[in-house]
Amino acid sequence: MRIIFTYLLLLLFPPYLSAQIIWQEDFNAYTDGTTVGTTGRWTSTCGACLSGDFFEVRSGAFSAQDVNDFSTWESESINIAGVSDVTFALDAIETGDHEGPGCACGVNIDYFDVSYSIDGGAFITIENWNGDGEPGHTLTGDSQNGSALDADWESTTITQSGLSGNTLVLRVVMRNTAGTETMTLDNVVVSHTSLLPVNLVSFTAMPQNNLTQLYWQTSSEEFSSHFELEKSIDGIYFQTIGNIAAIGTSKGAYYHFEDLSLPQTVYYRLKSFDTNESFYYSDIISVTGKHSITNTPYPNPFANELFLKLSDHSNLTFLSIDGKKQKVISLPEGLHDLHPYLEGFPTGMIILNISSQYGTQKHKLIKLREKGF
């Protein structure tokens, strides 16, 4: 999601503007079972959860299963003072058959509600997102046409823009009542449109033996503080590998960094900070060494086909969102359609671990309802 999100931001805003990230949470840093974010970044409550139920971090996302009633995830108070046109986005994913308005079960429908509060005011609910909810609810089960047709929303990114004030609090309320039903929250991002502290002209990576040579050029950066260079082996989970002071000139500058890379495909992005510690990300770039672990499975989300090109014999492990192992297969080098191996898997998030002699990659896959069904 973040790769797509970064690309869309570059399309929406001209080169001298950027959607700078104010606050984000992708849940990747937490162990399974976590219910409260680090240093109070977010909290969660599940007053009706019974033994065997869960409302917690699972496999790098926040998931709810059989929570029975009114389970709430809420962010800390996020500082948005001094900026305008604030936007937030978050992923909402469901697995299983959730009951909706047409289920003849009265008020006991399943829902995923997103609301926000500005400056401590009343929470405002985003209603009937993309037609997959109803008045008072953001998303509901069996929502389309108000009938019990299993027309759940599957996977969607909910957004709200044009916000302004001093503080913002996000709230997500989930409800489902069966062990076969799961709702998942992921990739929460709050951003705003602003002038760039750095006008980035280019950012490139070149392999050289066991090194990656990274270069970037700016045309102006007089409000710049420093750069953080981040690296990933799958284009999703990044870690900082370098902190480089900015020259801070109005005429621009050239930079160079060497990374002792693994013999595989790796991804890089540049995080530029201004003097007020605001920051924005560059485009994600990649470089491939002599050996590549794998290409990214595509398309994602997927319905009837899921392709994966392997450069070496690999073991593939499929897990459900709660971390339970569902299937393990072994495949040779080459291009494979993984769809036959996923028949019978429910819609929603699937975790795929790909292991070979060069290491292990982790991918979050979203399975949609197959076309024609």
**Which domains does the chain show, CATH number per domain?**
2-194 (2.60.120.260), 196-288 (2.60.40.730), 307-367 (2.60.40)
**pTM (predicted TM-score):** 0.57
Give the separation between CA 112 and CA 139, rounded to whole angstroms. Answer: 5
**pLDDT 10s digits, 295-308:** 678 888 888 789 99
User: How would you classify the pairing of strands 111-118 and 167-175?
Assistant: antiparallel
Say yes or no to pLDDT of 45 above 60: yes
Q: What pLDDT, on the 0 to 100 scale, is given for residue 141? A: 82
Of 110, 28, 109, 104, the closest CA to residue 65 belongs to 110
Please tell me whether residue 326 adopts helix, strand or coil conformation. strand
Which tokens in the block code for residue 325? 């192992």
Q: What pLDDT, on the 0 to 100 scale, is given for residue 63? A: 95
Say yes or no to pLDDT of 13 above 50: no
Task: Write out the H or E segment, with its range, that includes residue 7.
Answer: helix 2-12
Of 334, 272, 53, the closest CA to residue 174 belongs to 53
Q: What pLDDT, on the 0 to 100 scale, is given for residue 194? A: 60
Question: How close are the terminal C-alpha atoms of the chain, in Å?
Answer: 26
Give the separation between CA 289 and CA 126, rounded to whole angstroms. Answer: 46
**pLDDT 10s digits, 216-271:** 988 777 778 889 999 987 777 788 999 999 887 777 788 999 987 665 678 899 88
Which tokens in the block code for residue 161? 């823009």
Say yes or no to pLDDT of 143 above 70: no
- Angle (CA) 2-88-244 rounded to 5° is 55
Residue 11's φ and ψ, nearest 5 degrees, are: -75, -35
Of 192, 25, 174, the closest CA to residue 111 belongs to 174
